Structure 1
Amino acid sequence: MSFRLLPEWATQDGIMLTWPHENTDWVDILPDVEPVYVTLCQQISQVQKVLIIAHSDALKVHISTLLSKADVDMSAIVFVVAPCNDTWARDHGPLTTANQNGDLRVVDFVFNGWGNKYAAELDNNINKQLVAQVINDQAAFQSIDFVLEGGGIEINEYGVLLSTSECLLNPNRNPTLGQSQIEATLAQELGADSFLWLEHGYLAGDDTDSHIDTLVRFAPNNTLVYVACDNADDEHFSALTAMKMQLESFMTADGKPYDLVPLPWPKPVFNNDNERLPATYANYLILNNTVLVPIYGDDHDSLAVQQIQKAYPNHTAIGIDCLALIHQFGSLHCITMQLPRGFLK
Structure 2
Amino acid sequence: MKNLFLTVLLLPLFSSCQEDELTAKPDESINTAIMYTMPEESAPHEGTWLQWPHQYQYGIDYRNDLDATWVAMTKSLTGSEKVFIIAYDVTEKNRITTLLKDAGISLSNIEFKIFKTDDVWVRDNGPIYVKDKNNQLVIQDWGFNGWGKKVAFANCNTIPSQIAADQKTTVVDLNAVMINEGGAVEVDGNGTLLATRSAILNSNRNPGMTQLEAEANFKKYLGITHFIWLDGKAGREITDMHIDGFARFGSVNTIVTMNEDDLLYWEVPQTDITTLYNSKDKNGKAYTFLKLPLSKNNVVTTYSKKLGYKGSYVNYYIGNTVVLVPNYNDPNDAIANQLIQTLYPSRKVIGIDVRNLYANGGMIHCVTQQQPK
Normalising to structure 2: TM-score of the pair? Answer: 0.84
Tell me the amino acid that sits aligned with residue 32 of structure 1.
D
CA positional deviation for 1:191:
1.4
Instruction: State the partner residue of 2:293.
Output: 264
In the alignment, structure 1 residue 219 sits paired with structure 2 residue 234: no
Counterpart of 1:129 (choices 162, 184, 190) is 162
Instruction: State the partner residue of 1:155.
Output: 187
* Closer/same/farther in 2, CA of residues 303 and 203 from structure 1, 3 Å limit: farther
Tell me the amino acid that sits aligned with residue 249 of structure 2.
F
Partner deviation per Cα, 1:117-172 (whole Å, 9 max, x = no partner): 00100110112221222x2x4x4211112211000001012110110111111111
Deviates more, 1:107-116 or 1:243-252: 243-252
Matches within 5 A, 1:139-218: 139-144=169-174, 145=176, 146-200=178-232, 206-218=237-249
CA positional deviation for 1:105:
1.8
CA contact (8 A) 2:199 2:234 kept: no
* Closer/same/farther in 2, CA of residues 203 and 230 from structure 1, 3 Å limit: farther
Moved beyond 6 Å, runs of 4+: 201-204, 270-274
Tell me the amino acid that sits aligned with residue 91 of structure 1.
D
In the alignment, structure 1 residue 327 sits paired with structure 2 residue 356: no
- Separation in structure 1 between the aligned mates of residue 91 and residue 239 of structure 2, nearest angstrom: 31
Matches within 5 A, 1:193-342: 193-200=225-232, 206-228=237-259, 230=261, 236=265, 239=268, 242-266=271-295, 267-269=297-299, 276=308, 279-341=311-373
Deviates more, 1:327-336 or 1:28-37: 28-37
- Separation in structure 1 between the aligned mates of residue 310 and residue 223 of structure 2, nearest angstrom: 31
Identical-pair percentage: 34
CA contact (8 A) 1:296 1:321 kept: yes
Partner deviation per Cα, 1:44-80 (whole Å, 9 max, x = no partner): 1111111011111110111111111111110111111
**Structure 2 unaligned residues grouped into runs of 5+:** 1-12, 14-34
- Separation in structure 2 between the aligned mates of residue 26 and residue 152 of structure 1, nearest angstrom: 28
* Closer/same/farther in 2, CA of residues 193 and 305 from structure 1, 3 Å limit: same
CA contact (8 A) 1:92 1:111 kept: yes
CA positional deviation for 1:235:
6.6
What secondary structure is seen at the aligned counterpart in 1 of 2:214? helix
In the alignment, structure 1 residue 40 sits paired with structure 2 residue 73: yes
- Separation in structure 2 between the aligned mates of residue 302 and residue 43 of structure 1, nearest angstrom: 18
**Structure 1 unaligned residues grouped into runs of 5+:** none
Deviates more, 1:26-35 or 1:320-329: 26-35
- Separation in structure 2 between the aligned mates of residue 32 and residue 264 of structure 1, nearest angstrom: 26
CA contact (8 A) 1:16 1:50 kept: yes
What secondary structure is seen at the aligned counterpart in 1 of 2:355? coil
* Closer/same/farther in 2, CA of residues 128 and 335 from structure 1, 3 Å limit: same
Deviates more, 1:241-250 or 1:280-289: 241-250
Instruction: State the partner residue of 1:84.
Output: 117
CA positional deviation for 1:311:
2.3
CA positional deviation for 1:27:
3.3
- Separation in structure 2 between the aligned mates of residue 67 and residue 290 of structure 1, nearest angstrom: 19
